[in-house]
């Protein structure tokens, strides 16, 4: 038996009708080593941590309408740290809207009568409670995301989170690589926020978007009369960033003629505004970012080698979204929460099919694409759960039967598809596939054997 605070495992129990309360009485008899904590409302759920419970058992009412479905979703949203297990009747299995909610919010489900599955029930609850406790402990000891603002759990992004802390402690240039839309500016801002310069400004310059004839003025400023239209002195981005960070976004798109001007400034920290003969000095930290392979650009003489080495003191690469495994779902939930805070929407979560579709999509636009799809889906959906259609993503699995698919069968099918997709994305490299999914190599090998997947 799993050990818990207070020495006795607990579960929260929810039931709306009289029949449900009779099921709870049966549960008490079948789980003599467990403590049952009744939760009658969201307030009780919100204080779930105080009960030492890690599992919640949801007894589905005999009659299920929209209000009951909403109640189930509210319960899950009130205590997302719990693993949920539903108890349904055999008649409920043909209720597609109900079972969609069950698959979306529950870890597992059991059908009555429970006496027939008593041993399996105890085993599943014990395993679920241990897993939920471990997840909670990991969350309690991981305060890095709160400090850096990075929403992530996968190993690749945890490494980024660790690098942010290290790079924030020193005051030298940082070079952030990665595909467009991966969140390079977010990482740069996290470094700034965690550094001693956090009280200073963070000034972003999109090097690829400034017209060539205005670049020097935008960056270094100009004095009155320096050129036609210069009616007064104007500070440039470099001067405004004094005491803080100058973020040179898409530095790889900068023409060679401008690269030498950046290099000159980096060499001694001084510059001359356009039209001025007096040099000014500033105290800024440089963080650069690019989607371009600068090593190849240097080799092809499209980027100055001396500038590359000036900027590439502390390098890091932000992985594309398709390599972040379970973070895709985590980020989708985060962006949905943000959408709900900004506007009134019906969406409260994602259907099981939508979650599967999120993992199967290649995400060429990375996090930026995910934000756009989730924001649109939150507005457009007519139900409480976002579907693949709301996300404009292909439906992952065509229903093969008129009734809802068995939950275990759906899980195994989705698991196999996700593993196969990760292997294809990694060119069948087991180590890379494991990193994408946020699991160990041994887990991948176990899944290969479980699903009969062969790698030639």
pLDDT digit string, tens, across residues 224-276:
877 777 778 888 899 999 999 999 999 999 988 889 889 989 988 888 888 88
Q: Per the structure block, which two tokens stand in for 71?
A: 């109640």
Residues 26 and 130 occupy one common structural domain: yes
CATH code where residue 327 lies? 1.10.8.60
pLDDT for 372 beyond 90: yes
**Is 213 within the bounds of a domain?**
yes
* pLDDT score at 1: 26
Mean of the per-residue pLDDT values of the chain: 81
Average pLDDT for 172-197: 94
The reported pLDDT for the residue numbered 438 is 81
Residue 364 lies in a domain: yes
Instruction: Please tell me whether residues 14 and 106 are part of one structural domain.
Output: yes
Least confident of 36-40, 59-63, 142-146, 364-368: 142-146
Residue 167 lies in a domain: yes
* Same domain for 284 and 364: no
Q: What is the separation, in whole angstroms, between the first and last Cα of the chain?
A: 42
CA distance 395 to 388: 6
| In a domain? residue 241 | yes
pLDDT over 90 percentage in the chain: 29
- Which three-class secondary structure state does DSSP give residue 149? coil
pLDDT tens digits along 286-335: 999 999 999 999 999 999 999 999 999 999 999 999 888 878 988 998 89
pLDDT-derived band at 15 (thresholds 50, 70, 90) equals: confident
- In this prediction, residues 324-353 reach a mean pLDDT of 84
> Does 379 map to a domain?
yes
Distances (CA, A) of 64 to 68, 94, 95, 255, 299: 6, 12, 9, 64, 66
Looking at mean pLDDT, say which of 77-86, 125-134, 377-386 comes out highest.
377-386
Domain encompassing residue 200: 151-317
Answer with the one of 117, 141, 165 that is the final residue of a domain: 141
CATH number of the domain enclosing 127: 3.40.50.2300
Give a yes or no: residue 430 inside a domain.
yes
Check whether residue 20 and residue 123 sit in a common domain: yes
Candidate from 33-47, 201-215, 373-387 with smallest mean pLDDT = 33-47
Mean pLDDT of 435-448: 82
Q: Beta partners for 287?
A: 174, 247
Most confident of 67-76, 138-147, 285-294, 433-442: 285-294
200 CB-near residues (< 8 Å, 6+ apart) = 241, 242, 243, 244, 245
Q: Are residues 344 and 389 in the same domain?
A: yes
Does the pLDDT value for residue 404 go beyond 70?
no
Say whether both 239 and 372 belong to one domain: no
| One domain for residues 217 and 174 | yes
Q: How deeply is 327 buried, as exposed, middle or buried, from its count of CB atoms within 10 A (0-12, 13-18, 19+)?
A: buried
What whole-number distance in Å separates Cα of residue 93 and Cα of residue 406? 9
Tell me the pLDDT band of 145, cut-offs 50, 70 and 90.
low
Q: Which two tokens stand for residue 95?
A: 């209720």
262 to each of 223, 286, 301, how far by Cα in Å?
19, 11, 17
Phi, psi angles (nearest 5°) of residue 337: -60, -45
- Write out the two tokens for 314: 């502390």
Report, in angstroms and rounded to the nearest whole number, the Rg of the chain calculated over CA atoms.
Answer: 27
Q: Tell me the three-class secondary structure of 181-203, residue by residue.
A: CCCHHHHHHHHHHHCCCCCCCEE
pLDDT digits (tens, 9 = 90+) for 59-112: 888 888 887 887 777 776 666 667 888 899 999 998 888 888 888 778 888 898
Report the domain count for the chain.
4
- Among residues 295, 319, 293, which one has the least CA distance to residue 309? 295
Q: Is 11 helix (H, G, I), strand (E, B) or coil?
A: strand
Do residue 260 and residue 328 come from a single domain? no
pLDDT of residue 413: 73
Half-sphere exposure of 198 (CA within 13 A, CB side): 11
Q: CATH number for the domain including 443?
A: 1.10.10.60
Question: Which residues make Cβ contacts (< 8 Å) with residue 402, sequence separation at least 6?
Answer: none
pLDDT value at position 441? 80
d(C-alpha 398, C-alpha 396), whole Å? 7
The 10s digit of each residue's pLDDT in 16-43 is 777 778 888 888 888 877 777 776 544 4
Q: Is 403 exposed, middle or buried (0-12, 13-18, 19+ CB in 10 A)?
A: exposed
Q: What six digits make up the tokens of 98?
A: 């109900």
Residue 146, domain member (yes or no):
no
| CA–CA dist 159, 187 (Å, integer) | 12
Count of CB atoms within 10 A of residue 362's CB? Answer: 12
Instruction: Decide if 122 is inside a domain.
Output: yes
Higher-confidence position of 9 and 32: 32
Residue 397 — φ and ψ, nearest 5°? -140, 125
Residue 151 CA, chain-centre distance (Å), reads 5
Contact 95, 64 (CB under 8 A): yes
Instruction: Decide which of 108, 141, 174 is a domain's last residue.
Output: 141
pLDDT band at 406 (very low <50, low <70, confident <90, very high): low
Asked if residue 362 and residue 221 are part of one domain, the reply reads no
Q: Report the alpha-carbon distance of residue 196 to residue 243 in Å, rounded.
A: 10
Same domain, 30 and 109: yes
Both 89 and 232 in one domain: the answer is no
Q: Is 131's pLDDT higher than 50?
A: yes
Domain boundary among 317, 333, 365: 317
Q: Residue 103: what pLDDT?
A: 80
The full DSSP string for 319-361 is PPGGGSTTHHHHHHHHHHHHHHHHS--S--EE-HHHHHHHHHS
The CATH number given to whatever domain includes residue 280 is 3.40.50.300
- List the one residue out of 410, 330, 414, 319 whose CA is nearest residue 374: 330
Residue 162 pLDDT > 50, yes or no? Answer: yes
* Distance, CA of 98 to CA of 111 (rounded, Å): 14
Contact indicator for 236, 217 with CB cutoff of 8 Å: yes
Residue 350 tokens, joined: 């994602």
Residues 227 and 344 in one domain: no
Collapse the DSSP code of 41 into the 3-class scheme (helix H, G, I; strand E, B; otherwise coil) and give the result.
coil
């Amino acid at each position: 038996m799993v050990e818990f605070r207070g020495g006795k495992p607990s579960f929260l129990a929810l039931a709306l009708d009289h029949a449900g309360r009779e099921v709870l009485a049966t549960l008490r008899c079948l789980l003599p080593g467990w403590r049952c904590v009744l939760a009658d409302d969201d307030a009780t759920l919100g204080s779930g941590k105080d009960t030492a419970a890690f599992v919640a058992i949801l007894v589905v009412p005999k009659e299920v309408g929209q209000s009951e479905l909403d109640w189930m979703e509210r319960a899950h949203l009130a205590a997302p740290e719990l693993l949920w297990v539903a108890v349904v009747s055999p008649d409920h299995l043909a209720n597609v809207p109900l079972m969609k909610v069950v698959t979306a919010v529950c870890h597992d489900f059991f059908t009555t009568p429970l006496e027939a599955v008593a041993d399996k029930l105890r085993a599943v609850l014990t395993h679920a409670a241990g897993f939920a406790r471990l997840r909670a402990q990991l969350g309690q000891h991981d305060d890095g995301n709160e400090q850096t603002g990075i929403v992530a759990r996968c190993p690749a992004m945890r490494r980024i989170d660790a690098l942010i802390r290290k790079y924030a402690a020193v005051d030298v240039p940082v070079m952030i690589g990665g595909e467009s839309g991966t969140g390079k500016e977010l990482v740069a801002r996290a470094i700034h926020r965690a550094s001693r310069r956090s009280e200073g400004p963070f000034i972003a310059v999109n090097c690829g978007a400034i017209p060539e004839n205005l670049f020097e003025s935008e960056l270094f400023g100009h004095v009155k009369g320096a050129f036609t239209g210069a009616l007064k002195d104007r500070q440039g981005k470099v001067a405004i960033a004094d005491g803080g960070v100058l973020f040179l976004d898409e530095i790889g798109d900068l023409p060679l003629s401008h690269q030498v001007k950046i290099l000159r400034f980096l060499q001694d920290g001084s510059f001359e505004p356009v039209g001025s003969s007096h040099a000014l000095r500033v105290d800024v930290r440089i963080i650069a970012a690019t989607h371009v392979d600068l090593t190849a650009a240097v080799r092809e003489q499209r980027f100055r080698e001396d500038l590359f080495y000036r900027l590439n003191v502390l390098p890091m690469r932000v992985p594309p979204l398709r390599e972040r495994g379970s973070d895709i779902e985590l980020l989708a939930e985060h962006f949905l929460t943000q959408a709900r805070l900004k506007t009134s929407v019906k969406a409260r979560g994602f259907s099981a099919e939508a979650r599967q579709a999120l993992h199967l999509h290649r995400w060429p636009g990375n996090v930026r694409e995910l934000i756009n799809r989730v924001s649109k889906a939150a507005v457009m959906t007519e139900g409480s759960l976002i579907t693949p259609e709301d996300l404009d993503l292909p439906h992952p699995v065509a229903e093969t039967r008129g009734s809802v698919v068995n939950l275990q069968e759906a899980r195994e099918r989705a698991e196999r598809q996700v593993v196969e997709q990760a292997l294809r994305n990694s060119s069948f490299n087991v180590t890379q596939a494991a990193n994408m999914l946020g699991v160990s190599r041994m887990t991948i090998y176990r899944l290969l054997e479980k699903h009969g997947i062969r790698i030639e």
